[in-house]
Amino acid sequence: MNENIATVWELVADAVPGATAMVQGDRRLAWAELDERAARLAAALAAGGVGKGSRVAVDLYNCVEYLEVVYATLKLRAVPINVNYRYQEGELVYLLDDADAEVVVFHGSLAPRLVAAAPRCKRWPRLVEVPAGAAVVAEAEEYEGLVAGHAPAQRLERSGDDELILYTGGTTGYPKGVVWRHEDVLGPPIAVNGWLAFDLAVPPSAAAAAALAAGAVAAGREPRSLPAAPLMHTTALFKSLATLLLGGCVVFAGSRSLDADELCRLIEAERVVDLSIVGDAFARPLLAALEAAAAAGHPYDCSSVRRVGSAGVRWSPEVKAGLARFLPEATFTDILASTEGGPYALAVTRPGEDPRTTHPRLTPNGRILDELDHDVPPGSGRQGVLAATGSMPVGYLNDPERTARTWRVVDGVRHVISGDMATIDADGNVTLLGRGSEVVNTGGEKVFVEEVEQVVLTHPGVADVVVVGVPDERLGHRVVALVAPHPDGRLTERDVVDHVGAVLADHKRPRQVLFVDAVRRSPSGKADRSWAKATAAAAPPA
């Protein structure tokens, strides 16, 4: 659909003005109010010079204001920039300079590091604060004052070529800005999360999308989604965009970190239909909360959930099976995708199916390519890299060399090359091995750390794990597993090593197991491998 996201939202707002667009705590925002507030904020931003192509950074926790800022920015044909709210001063300076951000909208609790970073930026950004209390940063304008102090901006003619820039931290190095056109975002990234997930055909135009939304609201079938992960993570943002494009309602938790019981209460109270998580980092605490409430005799009513989607990190079949006991009507979709594109493969478990028997399968646009850019034959046992055609980003911001490596022409067609290694069996089932950069060379043998992590996680005594390689005088590197055990278990190093050895080759068994209270992860659920490597390197060799 060659359209602009803001234009679609405006037509949806016209079609369903009284429907609820967002909920957080006691606050409920109707579509007409969302559109007016975003238009007022757009006018305030425009008065300061924001226009087509300007970059507006969003440094907020999950909240109504986050999507208001995105909407206001898109109304002006400007470009929203996601900021990881955990970034410290130096990281903020890098990102704001790289994005050439003209404005930063930030939460008041994040003010100290941002106020320290702003003077170091090449361009001193305009600061807009969503207050955390009574105090307002002297250098910043107050968010609600800007909204109240301006008449709504007039609607513009826009283009599907207008841009979104999504920063992704990856596993190492500084964050990278991935440049998407609206037209491409409205392809598979939104379609898989939105229309297709509700068994609807992708609408051909903004007017057709608004008509679908109006029909869904009239029938009481509009989606109600709960993004459990931070909106600065692509998974949660795309799910929220898709929900609004369908005329639905986005439900936000109030906590700034994962509170599984709060998620369960919100699902029950708001009759959430669509839950967006990021792998086991979110699914395991959610399952524990459901089990604890049931054991205490006051189970949560989560029967409204029809879809649970995850992307970006590992979501183990055993945890899906546990959730299925409490969400019997839900379809579980594990999406192998990245900020750079995809989806490459999907694992879909429908109600009544055993998640332990479903496996990822390539999407129609997905491929596994060998080192010569040929398709890896199913059942060959050979390894390749996941790739996909179709809608995809323009490339990385300010990095043509990395762009050329990640988006390549294969067989005359542009592909996104994920960097994730995989195999495919004779039945078409895909096994994800992990990033090529996350390979441990131990004694001349290559070990993909994610493959080992997947096996360790199947042990009932393991709550979480990250596997890394550390230098070893004899082997070059040795495989080390940092394991967070369940608190009520009696897990030993031998238990873990033997469990892996029963499934994988001997050289893939951890040479050392370190028990930790918790595996450090980013807000998006990705393991902090730098921390893991430092922890493993500091431990005495086994």
Residue 199's contacts (CB-CB under 8 Å, 6 or more residues apart) are none
Q: What does the pLDDT look like over 432-462, one tens digit per residue? A: 887 766 788 887 677 888 889 989 999 999 9
How confident is the model at residue 369, as a pLDDT? Answer: 97
CA end-to-end distance (rounded Å), the chain: 57
118/126 Cα distance (integer angstroms) = 9
Cis peptide before 343 (omega within 30 of 0): yes
CATH class for the domain made up of 364-428: mainly beta
Residue whose C-alpha is closest to residue 10's, from 45, 38, 29: 38
Q: Which CATH architecture is the domain 437-538 placed in?
A: 2-Layer Sandwich (3.30)
Q: What is the pLDDT of residues 65-76, one digit of tens each?
A: 999 999 999 999
Rounded Cα distance, 350 and 76, in Å: 41
**Taking the model in full, what pTM does it have?**
0.85
Q: Which residues contact 299 (CB under 8 A, 6 or more apart)?
A: 290, 293, 326
- The domains of the chain are located at 5-257, 364-428, 437-538
Are the C-beta atoms of 277 and 252 separated by less than 8 Å? no
Q: What is the biggest distance separating any 2 CA atoms in the chain, rounded to whole angstroms?
A: 71
Of all residues in the chain, the percent with pLDDT exceeding 70 is 97
- Output the 3-class SS for 306-334: CEEEEECCCCCHHHHHHHHHHCCCCEEEE
Integer angstrom CA distances of residue 206 from 158, 186, 360, 446: 12, 11, 32, 49
CB 328 within 8 A of CB 344: no
Distance in angstroms (rounded) separating the CA atoms of residues 463 and 373: 38
pLDDT digits (tens, 9 = 90+) for 230-267: 999 898 999 999 999 999 999 999 998 889 999 999 99
CATH topology of domain 5-257: Rossmann fold (3.40.50)
Say if CB 108 and CB 143 are below 8 A apart: no
Are domains 5-257 and 437-538 of this chain identical in fold? no
Q: Which of 194-208, 284-298, 360-374, 410-424 shows the lowest per-residue confidence on average (mean pLDDT)?
A: 194-208
> For 86-102, what is each residue's pLDDT tens digit?
888 888 999 999 999 99
Query: Which residues are registered as beta bridge partners of 396?
Result: 178
List all residues 6 or more positions away from 473 whose beta carbon is below 8 Å from its beta carbon. none
